[in-house]
Amino acid sequence: PGDGRAYVGWADLGSLPKLNTANPEVQDYLIRVSRFWLNFGFDGIRVDVANEISPEFVRRWRAELKAQKPEVYLVGEVWDLRPEYLQGDQFDSLMNYTLGRGGSPPAFGGILGFARGGPLQNGRRALADLARVYATYPEAVAAMGFNLIGSHDTPRVLTELGGGGLRDTPSPEALARLRLASAMLYALPGASVVFQGEECGFTGERGQWPVNELYRYPLQWDRCRAEVLQHYRLLGRLKGQLKAFQSPLFRTYRGEEALMAFLRGEPGVGEVLAAFNNSSEEALMPLPPGQWRDAVEGRVYQRQVRLAGLGWRYLERVR
């Protein structure tokens, strides 16, 4: 055990032996382990590198775990847009890198691409990336989506937004772009998943895999940036308070140059317009008919609203 030369291991690592998930004895063993953790009290299981596992095993595994705990949440680590895994017989959600990054690394589409800015990262492209996901997955899948931008397998989001490496001090602009990206993430249907330390504004670049990955390190919680943590706490409160954010409904509204906006919830009073500006310059955005109250400042707007440079708003329709 531990000797990568003695058997086949994933990426030739002795600590990760490859198991034949088409073998019934292997299936029985893995299901028994999964049942142990559900009995222990876990409510969900994430399957690593799910695209390299026998679909027949996943179907049996799901059926037996759902019989034991119907509400168990089953997530597959698949980076691309793959609806075949989400037909009700395998996973409840995939890790939605397609929303956060536009797909497999080094992709910089979706939320991350828009927050980075630049002539090719405009509102039209970002809105198209988001709409493609919600046009592909059923509403029931969107409602329980495991949505993220970065994880233990990517550089820190702040680093990718220009915040520098592990020992650097991020600029005010980079921190503003992190706030913009996270506000987009929290406005989408499903669960907003944050890799530990992002809510503190930590940085960390990619080193030499697998021994020198500088985004994985003992976190210095005493260096947590209070203003970034306060921002994430605000987003968490708004996610819970705005009823439209509990809905799976997503509708495009506007995507052009530096501006991007989409609507959440049932049309009419209570729906939310989430609006974003990835330019450092302020901009005016036309509003849909009706009156719209800013969920943070409480002011009511109609016809148009001003977005600060690298700014965002959640606007709830009140009339």
On whether the CB atoms of residues 97 and 232 are closer than 8 A, the answer is no
List own/partner pairs for 88-95 with CB under 8 A and 24 or more apart.
Answer: 89/59, 89/62, 89/63, 90/55, 90/58, 90/59, 90/62, 91/47, 91/50, 91/58, 91/62, 92/141, 92/144, 93/141, 93/144, 93/145, 93/146, 93/190, 94/50, 94/146, 95/46, 95/146, 95/148, 95/151
Residue with tokens 């953790």: 37
Instruction: Mark out the alpha helices in 41-101 (DSSP H runs).
Output: 55-68, 97-100
Give backbone dihedrals phi and psi of 313, rounded to 5 degrees, phi first.
-145, 145
| Nearest alpha carbon to residue 267 among 254, 253, 255 | 253
Among 43, 48, 256, 282, which one carries the catalytic annotation? 48
What pairs with residue 191 in β-bridges? Answer: 146
| Nearest alpha carbon to residue 190 among 82, 96, 119 | 96
* Helix, strand, coil share (%) of the chain residues, nearest 5: 35, 20, 45
Among 77, 129, 199, 316, which one carries the catalytic annotation? 77
Instruction: Give the separation between CA 156 and CA 165, rounded to whole angstroms.
Output: 9
Angle, CA of 211, 214 and 217, to the nearest 5°: 90
48 catalytic residue (yes or no): yes
Reading phi first (left if > 0) and then psi (alpha if -120 to 50, else beta), residue 190 is in: left
Any idea which residues carry the catalytic annotation? 48, 77
